[in-house]
Amino acid sequence: MRKHFLTLFDLSSEEISALLKRALAMKSGIDANRCPLIGKSIGLLFEKASTRTRVSFEVGIYQLGAHPIYLTPHEIQLGRGETIPDTARALSRYLDAVVIRTFGHDLLVEFSTHSSVPVINGLSDLHHPCQALGDLMTILERKGRLQGIRLAYIGDGNNVANSLVEAASLTGMSLTIACPEGHEPAPEVLDRARSAKGEIIILREPKEAAGRADVIYTDVWVSMGQENESEKKKKRFEGYQINSKLLSCAKNDAIILHCLPAHRGEEITSEVMDGPQSAIFDQAENRLHAQKALLEMLVAGHS
């Protein structure tokens, strides 16, 4: 049966647990020669530029035995006026899944409605669920559990924060978000998450959020496409930097996460980013393994 992955809520708690277990097994190299998607072709339709998402998907698809096909709207007829439904229907006849990295989340929803193969959200302005899978894998790898972990997210309530809200509600983590007023995660995401089992707290003081945290997470203050708000947002987020002083409020064995790219000296200092508590580059690597497990689940299962 076709199954899309547009938000973390498209998977159950049990499916996430199984996916993370599989991702850790893949990382261990236990069956490195297994190619469950041999003969398949996966489309990568990217409206937004990328480093980690593109490379991790292309490498992961290759390692699973499938063939990645990188596309941009300007290289296909979508950029010349062909409708999203027509594009989705046509690509479904050639491909076994489509990963889309775009601006508006509505495009993903419309594309998936007309696609007969799995559609994966590689990033939208509203959600970044593949990043959240890598995040969960890193926390599980470093802490040995997710249930009861205290995660502090310091910064803008953007697409990454929205997906972390869903991650907390599905895994039983306690999530505290410190952000200026007006920069909270999407209300519809918060409302749904709070009806689940995770604890979600919104406050203004970064030190309060970091207190007793097992994990401290941040992201850039100015997301791609928001460059015209750069100076205004930087001013709003003064005091929300992850630095050694803020880190001292957390547990001694707390780990630091950042989805990258980082603006060193803005939302995080180099001292913390390169310090012994940083798991940031393990986190970046884990995108590869988590996405491989996701592709295996969706594409092999769809077949």
- The single residue of 131, 241, 277, 291 carrying the catalytic annotation is 131
Helices 105-114 + 84-94 axis angle, to 10: 50
Say how many residues make up the chain.
303
Vertex 62 angle, CA 56 and 63, to 5°? 85
- The single residue of 259, 283, 289, 291 carrying the catalytic annotation is 259
Classify residue 298 by its DSSP letter.
I
Residue type, position 92, single letter: S
- The single residue of 219, 258, 277, 289 carrying the catalytic annotation is 219
Closest CA to 173 of 201, 154, 205: 201
What are phi and psi for residue 58, nearest 5 degrees? Answer: -60, -45
Q: Catalytic annotation on 101? A: yes
Q: Which two tokens stand for residue 37?
A: 């998607």
Q: Catalytic annotation on 86? A: no
Q: Catalytic annotation on 249? A: no
Q: In the beta sheet, which residues pair with residue 250?
A: none
Q: Catalytic annotation on 34? A: no
| SS3 letters across 229-258 | HHHHHHHHCCCCCECHHHHCCCCCCCEEEE
Q: Is the dihedral of CA 237, 242, 247, 250 positive or negative?
A: positive
Vertex 171 angle, CA 166 and 174, to 5°? 80
- The single residue of 52, 128, 183, 289 carrying the catalytic annotation is 128
- The single residue of 101, 127, 183, 289 carrying the catalytic annotation is 101
Q: Which residues are catalytic?
A: 101, 128, 131, 219, 259, 287
